[in-house]
């Protein structure tokens, strides 16, 4: 009887410990959610106010849903054209960077080229070195690609962190697969496109997210290398809502939300791959 009582008591104690742990984890998760969610919710709240309502109560909840701010953003100040410019820069630089880096990273990770370690360090140096804006300016100007979207995309096709993640991920794939494919008569191109690349979707998604944030929010590069208004990205369209004598905050909040929305959607679409890709890419990087 006493042993049964002790067993029941131990079970209750263990259950209480699990409940306490779950409460702590849940509370911490709620706290983090509030920290990151409040600015976004406040941004949406401000974007739905009229200018007069914002001046009267900047932080209070809106009493009306003033969607005209979004209409104003989309139909004025070339915002739509700038938005599609950014989508073009984002898609083209992602395709160019990930396609080139995936091939180079596989060769370096397997050491199928001489001095693979040297080339790996050379690529990683791009993460820590600042952008050489003046040499890049002279380079684009000398080859006739200054103030040209193609020149800007070529400059932004930088392996950097993408190379680090991909090399680490490829090193987790056993090299015995390469040998088995060679014995079966599978060529290198077929092996990469039918086996390695489909297996690498998590790391491609992680690399795309990290790289997209860098390209989408690039204000310095677009200011230096794209001077014509018809080539402006959407991040530069935000300046049109800042006047000499003041700022119209509700339309600016609507514009900021529209600028941030594509990255949020991209993250939600790729979120199931991101964690696994980054963890796998960092195991043997």
Q: Is 234 in the same domain as 201? A: yes
Question: Are the beta carbons of 211 and 269 closer than 8 angstroms?
Answer: no
Gap between the Cα atoms of 25 and 30, Å rounded: 9
**Of 15 and 38, more confident:** 38
Could you give the angle at the alpha carbon of 207 between the alpha carbons of 229 and 220, nearest 5°? 30
Whether the per-residue pLDDT at 14 is higher than 70: the answer is no
16 pLDDT more than 50: yes
Cα separation, 1 vs 115, in Å, equals 73
Instruction: Kindly report the number of other CB atoms within 10 A of residue 56's CB atom.
Output: 10
With b meaning 16 or more CB within 10 Å and e meaning fewer, what string describes 122-140?
ebbeeeeeeeeeeebeeeb
pLDDT(7) > 80:
no
Residue 56 located in a structural domain: no
Burial 152-191 (b: 16+ CB within 10 A, else e): bbbbbbbbbbbbbbbbbbbbbbeeeebeebeeeebeeeeb
Domain tally, the chain = 2
pLDDT at 281: 46
Residues 19 and 122 in one domain: no
pLDDT of amino acid 10? 55
Let me know whether 74 and 127 are in one domain: yes
Supply 50's token pair: 């009229």
> Could you tell me the pLDDT band of residue 282, with boundaries at 50, 70 and 90?
very low
**Residues forming beta bridges with residue 247, ordered by sequence position:** 242
Across the chain, mean pLDDT equals 83
Residue 132 inside a domain? The answer is yes
Same domain, 164 and 28: no
Check whether 128 has a pLDDT greater than 70. Answer: yes
Exposed / middle / buried, residue 268 (Cβ in 10 Å: 0-12, 13-18, 19+): exposed
Q: Is the pLDDT at 272 greater than 80, yes or no?
A: no
**Mean pLDDT, to the nearest integer, of 131-142?**
88
- 3-state percent helix, strand, coil for the chain, nearest multiple of 5: 80, 0, 20
Cα 105 to Cα 163: distance, rounded to the nearest angstrom: 6
* 91 found inside a domain: yes
User: Coil, strand, or helix at residue 247?
Assistant: strand
Q: Scanning the structure block, which residue is given the tokens 């919710």? A: 41
The answer to whether position 60 is within a domain reads no
Q: 94 with 211: CB under 8 angstroms? A: yes
Q: What is the DSSP letter of 178?
A: H
CA–CA dist 86, 227 (Å, integer): 15
Per-residue pLDDT tens digits for 155-195:
888 888 889 889 988 988 888 888 888 888 888 888 888 88
- Asked if residues 50 and 66 have their Cβ atoms less than 8 Å apart, the reply is yes
Residues 73 and 38 in one domain: no
Range of the domain at 96: 69-283
Question: Which position has the higher pLDDT, 152 or 59?
Answer: 152
Q: By C-alpha distance, which of 163, 167, 151 is closest to 98?
A: 163
Same domain, 37 and 164: no
Closest CA to 18 of 26, 28, 29: 26
Express each pLDDT in 203-250 by its tens digit.
888 888 888 888 998 988 998 999 998 999 998 888 877 765 567 888
Q: Same structural domain for residues 78 and 212?
A: yes
Q: What is the pTM of this model?
A: 0.81
CA distances (Å), origin 203, targets 52, 170, 188, 272: 48, 9, 20, 11
Q: Domain for residue 166, yes or no?
A: yes
242 phi, psi to nearest 5 deg: -110, 115
Strands (E), the chain: none
Q: Return the pLDDT at 285.
A: 46
Distance CA 250, CA 69 (A): 7
């Amino acid at each position: 009887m006493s042993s049964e009582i002790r067993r029941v008591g131990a079970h209750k104690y263990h259950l209480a410990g699990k409940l306490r742990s779950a409460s702590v984890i849940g509370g911490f998760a709620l706290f983090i959610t509030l920290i990151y969610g409040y600015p976004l919710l406040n941004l949406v709240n401000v974007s739905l106010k009229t200018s007069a309502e914002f001046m009267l109560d900047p932080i209070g909840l809106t009493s009306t849903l003033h969607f005209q701010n979004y209409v104003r953003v989309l139909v004025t100040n070339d915002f739509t054209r700038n938005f599609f410019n950014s989508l073009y820069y984002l898609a083209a630089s992602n395709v160019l960077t990930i396609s080139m880096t995936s091939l180079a990273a596989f060769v370096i990770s397997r050491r199928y080229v001489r001095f693979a370690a040297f080339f790996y360090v050379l690529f990683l140096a791009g993460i820590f070195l600042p952008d050489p804006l003046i040499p890049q300016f002279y380079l684009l100007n000398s080859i006739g690609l200054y103030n040209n979207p193609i020149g800007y995309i070529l400059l932004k096709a930088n392996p950097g962190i993408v190379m680090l993640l991909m090399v680490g991920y490829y090193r987790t794939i056993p090299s015995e697969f390469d040998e088995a494919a060679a014995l079966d008569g599978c060529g290198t191109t077929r092996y990469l496109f039918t086996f390695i690349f489909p297996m690498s979707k998590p790391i491609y998604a992680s690399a795309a997210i990290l790289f997209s944030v860098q390209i989408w929010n690039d204000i310095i590069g677009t200011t230096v290398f794209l001077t014509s208004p018809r080539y402006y990205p959407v991040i530069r369209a935000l300046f049109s809502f800042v006047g000499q004598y003041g700022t119209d905050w509700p339309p600016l909040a609507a514009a900021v939300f529209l600028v941030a929305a594509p990255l949020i959607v991209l993250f939600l679409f790729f979120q199931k791959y991101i964690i696994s890709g980054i963890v796998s890419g960092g195991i043997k990087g």
